[in-house]
Structure 1
Amino acid sequence: MTRFVSLFAITAVLCGPALAQTSGEGTARGETAETSLPKAPDQEPVFENQTRTPLPAEKTAVETETIAEDLSNLWSMEFLSDGAMLVTAKEGDMMIVSSEGEVGAPIEGVPEVMSQGQGGLLDVALAPDFDETGMIYFSFSEPREDGGNGTSVARARLETDGSGTGTLQDLEIIFRQTPAYDGDMHFGSRLVFGPDDHLFVTVGERSDTPIRDQAQDLTSGLGKIFRINPDGSAPEGNPFARHAAIQPEIWSYGHRNIQAATLDPEGRLWTVEHGPMGGDELNRPEAGLNYGWPAITYGLDYGGAPIGLGLTAMEGMEQPVYYWDPVIAPSGMAFYQGEEFPAWDGAVLIGGLVSESLVVLHLEEGRVTSEERIPLGARVQDVKVGPDGAVYAITEADNNSSSAIMRVTSQAGG
């Protein structure tokens, strides 16, 4: 596999006009990573630095290296213990990519997926005891018997043969989002194991009106975050586990379409969800809380009209920790811990499909203090921190024709 290196001395770290900026001046002048006008200019944040925080005082200089390219449309990646990457492709393939970029044959045993629109083979996560059991978990848009479809989660034992490929054994579908729906939008989905080995499952609300309103309905599984046991059952500690009419797996609700989720160093769940035209949200979802969609939201509908009554706040509904208008189109995220980027320690790294960048948020006491963007020149589908401390990103071409895996490191002397 051909590998090449490109250098970025990131000064403005912007994806738009006005790219030049010297180190430290952005904060002094109040300049921000986003320079475009908001889609909903009349909407105001509730608290300081809820959107468009200043650039950090110091610039970030990076090198990027393409590890593998010309791959089918990848959706997610997970590092194995030997440094290889287990990846999923939207059309339904799962593969192992070596640390040197060699791509193995498709793994056998993957179930049928509905890959139209935003559907396909989605996220993959290693079980906490993967090194002993070989168990993996993955989400996919599953065709259902009634003609609809929905996000489902399966687990299986990954058996590899030493040649860069393998098979899935003892496959079992452990969770199905309900109700099913005959559509091809907003499946979510990310899988995150919590510190107690419970599995968080993020999904979408299926986009269309009026079905998206079910994000506010606790008898529906649309627009929710679920927390399940490794076998798919609902943990006793879930907030609605003892309510007969409510789906017991629900952790939080009022979500739109979550394609980015991870744990912070303290073991708390964070997510970034796609907003409408404006209104992407960073949240730290807590048990039983309502995050508003579609009753409240920042941004507008795609035709330019307000969403519902056009409200951005309401009693009993949570405000996002941070929001973007216009959107970055978030997909994949990780908290940075490593030696490659000391200045990023504890920062949130988010893939931007529309911004075509790695979005870096610096936090203090649970609030965003600064935002910078590292342009990667392509849509960013997933982000992981590798065992070497480098940042790895799945990128895809503007026309979604192919994917690549990029490695981002600190520029020497930068």
Structure 2
Amino acid sequence: MRFNPILSALSPLALLLASCSAPTSAQNDPQPQAPSPEPAHLRIEDKGTFKEPWAMAFLPDGSALITEKAGRLKWWREGGPVVEVGGVPPVDYGGQGGLGDVMPAPDYATSHKVYLTWVEAGSSDTRGAVLGTAVLKPADAPKLEDLKMIWRQVPKVTGRGHFSHRIAISPDGKYLFLTSGERQKFTPAQDLSNNLGKVLRLNLDGTPAAGNPFAAKGGVAREIWSYGHRNLLGIKFDDQGRLWELEHGPAGGDELNLIEPGRNYGWPLVSDGDHYDGKAIPRHRTRPDLAAPAISWNPVIAPGDFIIYDGDLFKDWKGEVLIASFAAAGIVRVKIEGEKAKEVERIGLDNRIREIEQGPDGAIWVLEDGDPGRLRKLTPR
């Protein structure tokens, strides 16, 4: 099923934007800038290699689940063997698509339930992201059981980009927040009849949460928390319970956004970047009625994911946003100042960084993009 926007409802500007060509995978994920020496103030230990790793989640016992984009889930223990987990669903692999995020459920200690996102194929060369739950059965040959698909991107469309599908659990453990990219189709991000280009707020079983801002519209609009997004590669809560989201812009205009319910974040009507073919996009400042980013980057940093650090090992970084970056080939440190933010440092690691996580002891863990992609542990010297 192809997405068929209601053209009569679109402004001439939106029609122009919709006509612009979508970026290639290489354009969307820029190559690193000139490499820099690894920082002397960090101790960096390599802890394994993976094939196109995409996401990592620590479990209560200190082990971690790591997804590989082609459709493999690995169970990693520091100092132990890396074990492949069985029962992973088939994925539609290619471009930016494949196996995506992973996260233990709030009650994992008793239920052993995990959340997974992946891309599934549809008819007529279409595809879309999905969210599922499964029970992780620990054993010498661990596997996922009772796999249930609980959410889908609607509609499935052509192309292999901008799936997003990152997960966050609310601090009270009651809600699941999910990012859904606009699939390089531009105009769906402004259309509340679909869930593309949106941040979604769901119950833990994948159903729309009560009290969402567009519930009265019915259908998938009941899922929507915010809209007007492009390719959302990170979503996290801070220690005040505020929700932050990180997304790729086009040629320029990567954004860190403070997410508020019901707000329109502007894509593709405004951006602090332009189209890959050089066509200009009006800047955020021209539309004060649309939510502006807390910080934007031009040229891009090409984010992979981010954390808001709350550990004790890096005391000076507490409360800061640490961004895994492709273009900066390392970590971008950002300080939150109220509802705005500013960049304070770039830490070169000489490779595109896909994923960043905080370990149980406050160490910072990163996964390099690509094959092989190293798992690296960062602690202070």
Q: Under a length normalisation based on structure 2, what TM-score does the superposition of the two structures give? A: 0.87
Alignment match of 2:85 (pick from 107, 110, 116): 107
Alignment match of 1:174 (pick from 145, 150, 169): 150
Alignment match of 2:223 (pick from 228, 249, 271): 249
Alignment match of 1:283 (pick from 257, 261, 265): 257
Quick one: distance in 2 between partners of 1:17 and 1:201? 34
AA of the residue aligned to 1:89:
E
Hey, what does 1:359 align to over in structure 2?
332
Secondary structure of 2:48's partner? strand
Matches within 5 A, 1:218-297: 218-244=192-218, 247-297=221-271
Task: Report the structure number with the largest CA radius of gyration.
Answer: 1
Secondary structure of 1:328's partner? coil
Q: Is the 8 Å Cα contact of residues 277 and 326 (structure 1) preserved in structure 2? A: yes
Is 2:72 the counterpart of 1:93?
yes
- Pairwise CA distance, 1:19: 7.5
Moved over 3 A (4+): 15-20, 309-313
Alignment match of 2:371 (pick from 373, 377, 401): 401
Secondary structure of 1:267's partner? coil
Is 2:100 the counterpart of 1:122?
yes
Quick one: distance in 1 between partners of 2:112 and 2:124? 33
Hey, what does 1:199 align to over in structure 2?
176
Q: Is the 8 Å Cα contact of residues 304 and 323 (structure 2) preserved in structure 1? A: yes
Is 2:63 the counterpart of 1:63?
no
AA of the residue aligned to 1:93:
R
User: Percentage identity across aligned positions?
Assistant: 37
Quick one: distance in 2 between partners of 1:334 and 1:392? 10
Matches within 5 A, 1:333-348: 333-348=306-321
Cα distance change on mapping 1:297 and 1:92 into 2, 3 Å: same
Matches within 5 A, 1:371-410: 371-396=344-369, 400-410=370-380
Alignment match of 1:216 (pick from 190, 193, 208): 190
Cα distance change on mapping 1:327 and 1:75 into 2, 3 Å: same
- Pairwise CA distance, 1:17: 7.4
Aligned-residue Cα RMSD (Å) equals 2.0
AA of the residue aligned to 2:169:
F
Structure 1 residues 274-312: Cα deviation after superposition (integer angstroms, max 9, x where no partner): 0011100000111110000000001111122213x5665
AA of the residue aligned to 2:188:
Q
Matches within 5 A, 1:72-83: 72-83=51-62
- Pairwise CA distance, 1:137: 0.4
Q: Under a length normalisation based on structure 1, what TM-score does the superposition of the two structures give? A: 0.80
Q: Is the 8 Å Cα contact of residues 313 and 319 (structure 1) preserved in structure 2? A: no
- Pairwise CA distance, 1:200: 0.5
- Pairwise CA distance, 1:365: 2.0
- Pairwise CA distance, 1:321: 0.4
Secondary structure of 1:201's partner? strand
Quick one: distance in 2 between partners of 1:131 and 1:328? 36
Q: Is the 8 Å Cα contact of residues 157 and 171 (structure 1) preserved in structure 2? A: yes
- Pairwise CA distance, 1:267: 2.1
- Pairwise CA distance, 1:345: 0.7
Is 2:121 the counterpart of 1:143?
yes
Q: Paired residues, what number?
A: 348
> Where in structure 2 are there 5+ consecutive unaligned residues?
1-31
AA of the residue aligned to 1:342:
K
Q: Is the 8 Å Cα contact of residues 240 and 246 (structure 1) preserved in structure 2? A: no
Q: Is the 8 Å Cα contact of residues 66 and 76 (structure 2) preserved in structure 1? A: yes
Q: Which has the higher helix share?
A: 2
Cα distance change on mapping 1:194 and 1:18 into 2, 3 Å: closer
- Pairwise CA distance, 1:273: 0.1
